[in-house]
Amino acid sequence: MAELADPLPDDDITAIRRSVKGICDRFPGDYWREKDRERAYPTEFVRALTEDGFLSVLIPEAYGGSGLGLRAAVAILEEIHKNGCNAAACHAQMYTMGTLLNHGSDAQKSQWLPAIASGDLRLQAFGVTEPTSGTDTLSLRTTAVRDGDHYVVNGQKVWTSRAEHSDLMLLLARTTPKDQVEKKSGGLSVFVVDMREALGNGLTIRPIRAMINHSSTEVFFENVRVPAGNLLGEEGKGFRYILDGMNAERTLIAAECLGDSTWFIDKAVAYANERNVFGGPIGRNQGIQFPIARAHAETEAARLMVYRAAEMFDRGEPCGPEANMAKLLAADASWHAADMCMQTHGGFAFAEEYDVERKFRETRLYQIAPISTNLILSYVAEHVLGLPRSY
């Protein structure tokens, strides 16, 4: 396991938030609107975060990061979204890196982590989802077959975000056929694929035009040769390794939801106070006030769970229920706040220049990815409440 981070004083968290806000202020709505229109990658924004070390807070100091822990990472992502920006272009580095950190050998960590921390190497692509298996990860069909000192990978991934903007991909592939494994969850393995070498050597990336600007792609593997030295941990235990990283992922995504939610509420309050109809501000009507107040209450409640999950994670305590519930509550809060913000803005919510319609589209994602609401509810029902497994 990774070393535990020392608890970070609240003052340090406040300072981190202030610095992140300083960066966000340089990337206002029109920057994001243009990127959204063009479906372009926010390279300048990602570079600014990288240069100031904000994407490497989970990498230990020994490997060139600041090792500040999940509370710091939560503060960074929440602040980015609270200020109208979007961390989707770079958040994966924070949570995919945990698999390398926790299950990679010393040699692998020394090879990749310092370069990731400095920004020389980008680990932004995470290849799990496939077109035919979807949420049923254990049915994925991409195979990695040992051939001398390499594995030969064949198959297809879908919705692989940022593949065109990453040097490395964390890949989950089947190394033992499903009908030959002792345990249902066995037979899958995790690899670090160097896409710079693989592109043109069997790896093809095809962008997917989507509802939001998320750099989503399909990735095809045709006899891609991956050095055996790029296998993380033991062959066949990859599903467990990916699950290990889920608590961090859930909590970090929940932090983005909190940020979105706060942005929607601030935006709605400002508009409700300044928009005059029937001789006064629309915000004096309880039909407008109450949904805003409700969104605020839901967000504050979700925030408690998100911070609690992060604190438990940093203390090295099991936090599966908290991380999952944090993601559920925060994603619901941000979606309700988005709907409220649309309604508060009336027709102007549809105008691009208000940014509300873009953020509305963006925050809808969290009901589905990286894990759908139904699957979180299944987790809580089965693992927290002891109800029978449904699938």
Ligand X SMILES: Cc1cc2nc3c(=O)[nH]c(=O)nc-3n(C[C@H](O)[C@H](O)[C@H](O)COP(=O)(O)OP(=O)(O)OC[C@H]3O[C@@H](n4cnc5c(N)ncnc54)[C@H](O)[C@@H]3O)c2cc1C
Pick between residue 93 and residue 216 the one whose CB is nearest to ligand X: 216
Identify the DSSP state of 64: T
In the range 75-114, which residues lie near ligand X by CB under 6 A? Answer: none
Residue 165 bridge partners (DSSP): none
Q: How is residue 158 written in tokens? A: 């879908």
Pick between residue 269 and residue 326 the one whose CB is nearest to ligand X: 326
End-to-end CA distance of the chain: 30
Give min distance, CB of 88 to ligand X, in A. 8
Give min distance, CB of 208 to ligand X, in A. 8
Site string for ligand X, 152-181 (x = CB under 6 A): -------xxx--------------------
Tokens 């891609």: give the residue: 224
The verdict on 389 binding ligand X (CB under 6 A) reads no
Q: How is residue 146 written in tokens? A: 């040992």
| Contacting residue, 138, 369, 380, 381, with ligand X by CB under 6 A | 369
CA torsion through residues 206, 207, 208, 209, sign: negative
| Contacting residue, 297, 375, 384, 387, with ligand X by CB under 6 A | 375
CA nearest neighbour of 164 among 214, 130, 120: 214
The verdict on 337 binding ligand X (CB under 6 A) reads no
Pick between residue 19 and residue 373 the one whose CB is nearest to ligand X: 373
Pick between residue 286 and residue 390 the one whose CB is nearest to ligand X: 390
Give min distance, CB of 17 to ligand X, in A. 26
Helices (H), ranges, the chain: 10-24, 29-38, 43-51, 70-82, 92-103, 106-118, 195-198, 238-244, 246-274, 286-314, 320-345, 356-364, 373-379
Q: Can you tell me the distance from the alpha carbon of 290 to that of 208, in angstroms, rounded to the nearest whole number? A: 39
Site string for ligand X, 120-139 (x = CB under 6 A): ------xxxx----xx----
| Contacting residue, 275, 294, 378, 382, with ligand X by CB under 6 A | 378
Give min distance, CB of 134 to ligand X, in A. 2
The verdict on 261 binding ligand X (CB under 6 A) reads no
Q: How is residue 18 written in tokens? A: 């202030």
Residues with a catalytic annotation lie at 249
CA nearest neighbour of 59 among 105, 90, 98, 4: 98
Q: Can you tell me the distance from the alpha carbon of 249 to that of 314, in angstroms, rounded to the nearest whole number? A: 13
CA nearest neighbour of 160 among 198, 197, 201, 204: 204
The verdict on 228 binding ligand X (CB under 6 A) reads no
User: What Cα–Cα distance (Å) separates residue 348 from each residue in 22, 28, 182, 271, 356?
Assistant: 28, 19, 58, 10, 9
The verdict on 372 binding ligand X (CB under 6 A) reads yes
Residue number of the CB atom closest to ligand X: 134
| Residue span binding ligand X (CB under 6 A) among the ranges 105-113, 192-200, 208-216, 312-320 | 208-216
**What value, to the nearest 5°, has the Cα angle with vertex 67 and ends 79 and 42?**
40
Output b/e per residue, 252-267; b: 16+ Cβ within 10 A.
bbbbbbbbbbbbbbeb
The verdict on 363 binding ligand X (CB under 6 A) reads no
In the range 182-201, which residues lie near ligand X by CB under 6 A? Answer: none
| Contacting residue, 8, 199, 210, 381, with ligand X by CB under 6 A | 210
| Residue span binding ligand X (CB under 6 A) among the ranges 62-70, 181-189, 240-248, 366-374 | 366-374
325, burial (CB in 10 Å: exposed 0-12, middle 13-18, buried 19+) = buried
Give min distance, CB of 250 to ligand X, in A. 12
The verdict on 299 binding ligand X (CB under 6 A) reads no
Give min distance, CB of 367 to ligand X, in A. 8
Residues that bind ligand X (CB under 6 A): 126-129, 134-135, 159-161, 210, 214, 216, 365, 368-372, 374-375, 378, 390-391
